[in-house]
Structures are given as structure tokens and as C-alpha cells.
Amino acid sequence: MSLKVYINGEFFDKENAKISVFDHGFLYGDGVFEGIRSYSGKIFRHREHIDRLYDSAAAIALTIPMTKEDLMAAVEETLKINGLSDAYIRLVVSRGMGDLGLDPNKCEKPSIIIITDAISLYPQELYENGLDIVTASTIRVSPAALSPRIKSLNYLNNILAKIEGDRAGCKEALMLNHKGEVAECTGDNVFIIRREEIFTPSIEAGVLEGITRNAVIELARNAGYTVHEMPLTRFDVYIADECFLTGTAAEIIPVVTIDSRKIGTGRPGPFTKELIAKFHTITGK
Ligand code: PXG
């Protein structure tokens, strides 16, 4: 059976799931999205993802022509129709079809798309041995220009850094902000551990407020750890005992080297391992 894709209230076979070339999501990256997971049929932090989607939309003056409840129901229905229980869900809302000019007023109806598919993960080996990453020279877009809190369809800033990571043989790359502070990776938030305390850049550093980031902060604090959300520099990462990344697809993944420097022992550390185990208890996997 072919995968079914939801487009504006209708389901299409994967092969026929098409959007107009006049859609401003395509022409200008004018739209917003979410990447969501379901574990054993249960959508992880569904409400948080929907809230973030509507916040991203509000920030770009895009009104999603559906209530949050109806959109959540449509996501559930798409999963069900595809018989998926452990899945990756891509929810996209673009400005819709317009003319060739920038004017969003020419776009009458936003396009709402829900794609569900099997999740593709980092290889298990990387969870056991950790990732090598590099710092990209491409800095994260300044919040004064375009807030990185908007999960928009324009990911060029991250893609340019991703290319740098890839050319250095790394699966992720660390991005600094306009002030030279640590921001986040191209599709993951970053955490470090030093002297048994946990640190992550604050949202004000100009990062996406990751749903996984928030879940990890919550579970670490509930376990009695001190979590600091504060400005961090590359130096802090270099001298950290442990480092890990968080994201919907990655969950929690250890980082063992950055810019060819070993972090801690150069092996995934005990705190990271404990947090990974705790995270699995909340996802049930
Ligand atoms: N920062 C950025 C820039 C992201 O794009 C995260 C952090 C983590 O946020 P969540 O809410 O997922 O914990 C993201 C999200 C991919 C892919 O295929 C990853 C994201 C988005 C789109 C695609 O790796 N990451």
C-alpha cells in the first residue's frame, strides 16, 4: 500500500502528493514546519509541537485556517491511515499559491501538509560511541534579522553549516551566534556537562526552543540535576566533561570530539548515558 499524504484535508498517494510551483513555500521558503515523532502510536509532546507551529506561523503573520484541535486530529488520522505507530511526522504550513511576486496577500489559502513516514535515525553505533562534530564558520542567523525560534521553511542558514560539517566528515556541526557564543547544531540543540552540572545555551542565544531540549531540561531537573541555561562559548565546550545533542530525530546523542579535541575522556559519559536511559522511560522505547 502506498503511503498517504494529507494535503488540505484530502489524502493523496505519495506519488500524487504534489504542491504547485506557485506555492510561496516553494518560491520563497515562506512557511513553517514541525518534525514530530510517534512512539508506539503515541505522539510525543504533540501539544508542544502544535503550539510551536502556531507560534512560528504567528511570527510570520500566517494564519493557519484550522483550530489546533482539528490539526492535531488530522495528524492522528494521517498516522492511522498509514498504519504507522513508530513514525516521523512532518507537518508543513506554507503561505500557499500566489503569483511570482513576494506579496503574501496574493496567496489566498495556506497549504497544510502532513507527511508520515518510518523514522530514519542515526546509526546505533553513534549512540554507543558518540559523534564527532566541528564548529561551522557559518554563524546562526541573528535574532535581530530573523528569529531562529521560527521553524521556517528556509533552512539555508543551517544547510550551509551542515555542508561544512559534511565536508569535515561530521554528521553535525556546531553553530555560533552573531556574538560568537555557542548557539546550537544544524538540527539539534546542544548541552554540556561540567562538574556534574548541566549547561545549555539560553533561548536568547538565538536558538530554536527544541521540544526535546525542554523535555531533557525537565527530566534532568526532576532527577535533581542543576541545569543552567546561559551563554556558553566554544571554550566551555572544549573543557566540558561531556557533551550531547538533542532533537526529535536524534533524541539524545553523545558528542565525543569537537574541532578534533576530545571532550572529557573521548567516550560517552555517565551523565549522558543516564539521561538517555531516562529519556527512553518517557518515550517508552
Ligand atoms: N535546532 C534546530 C535548528 C532544529 O532544526 C532542533 C534544534 C531540535 O528541536 P526539537 O524540537 O526537534 O527537539 C531542530 C529540529 C532532520 C531535521 O531531519 C531536524 C530538525 C528539523 C528538521 C529536520 O535532521 N530539527
Residue 120 has a pLDDT of 80
Residue 1 has a pLDDT of 73
Would you say the CATH fold of 124-283 matches that of 4-117? Answer: no
Ligand 1 center from residue 249 Cα (angstroms): 7
Q: What integer best gives the mean pLDDT of the chain?
A: 97
CATH 3.30.470.10 fits 4-117, yes or no: yes
**185 to each of 31, 73, 207, 253, how far by Cα in Å?**
21, 31, 9, 12
Q: Is the CB of 189 under 6 A from ligand 1?
A: yes
Residue 76 has a pLDDT of 98
Residue 90 has a pLDDT of 98
Residue 141 has a pLDDT of 97
Q: At a CB cut-off of 8 Å and minimum separation 6, what does 145 contact?
A: none
CATH code, residues 124-283: 3.20.10.10
Residue of minimum CA distance from atom 24 in ligand 1: 187
Tens digit of each residue's pLDDT (9 = 90 or more) over 74-96 = 999 999 999 999 999 999 999 99
Ligand 1 center from residue 41 Cα (angstroms): 21
**Where are the chain's structural domains?**
4-117, 124-283
- Give residue 244's identity as a one-letter amino acid code: F
Q: Is the CB of 210 under 6 A from ligand 1?
A: yes
**164 to each of 134, 172, 175, 190, 260, how far by Cα in Å?**
8, 9, 11, 18, 15
Give pairs for 100-108: CB < 8 Å, separation 24+: 100/22, 100/27, 102/28, 104/24, 104/30, 104/61, 104/62, 107/24, 107/30
- How far is 279 from 285, CA to CA, in rounded Å? 9
The residue from 151, 171, 278, 285 that is catalytic is 151
Output the pTM of the full model.
Answer: 0.97
Q: Is the CB of 246 under 6 A from ligand 1?
A: yes
Residue ranges for the chain with pLDDT beneath 50: none
Residue 125 has a pLDDT of 96
Residue 42 has a pLDDT of 96
- Ligand 1, pocket-test mutation among 208, 218, 245, most atoms within 8 A of CB: 208
Q: Is the CB of 183 under 6 A from ligand 1?
A: no
Which grid cell is 243?
A: 557533551
* Share above pLDDT 90 across residues of the chain, in percent, rounded to a whole number: 97
Residue 109 has a pLDDT of 98
Distance of CA 169 to the CA centre of its chain: 21
- How far is 25 from 30, CA to CA, in rounded Å? 4
Q: Is the CB of 245 under 6 A from ligand 1?
A: no
Ligand 1 center from residue 106 Cα (angstroms): 30
Tens digit of each residue's pLDDT (9 = 90 or more) over 38-58 = 999 999 999 999 999 999 999
Q: Give the count of beta carbons closer than 10 Å to the beta carbon of residue 209.
A: 15
Dihedral angle over CA of 204, 208, 214, 220, nearest 10: -70
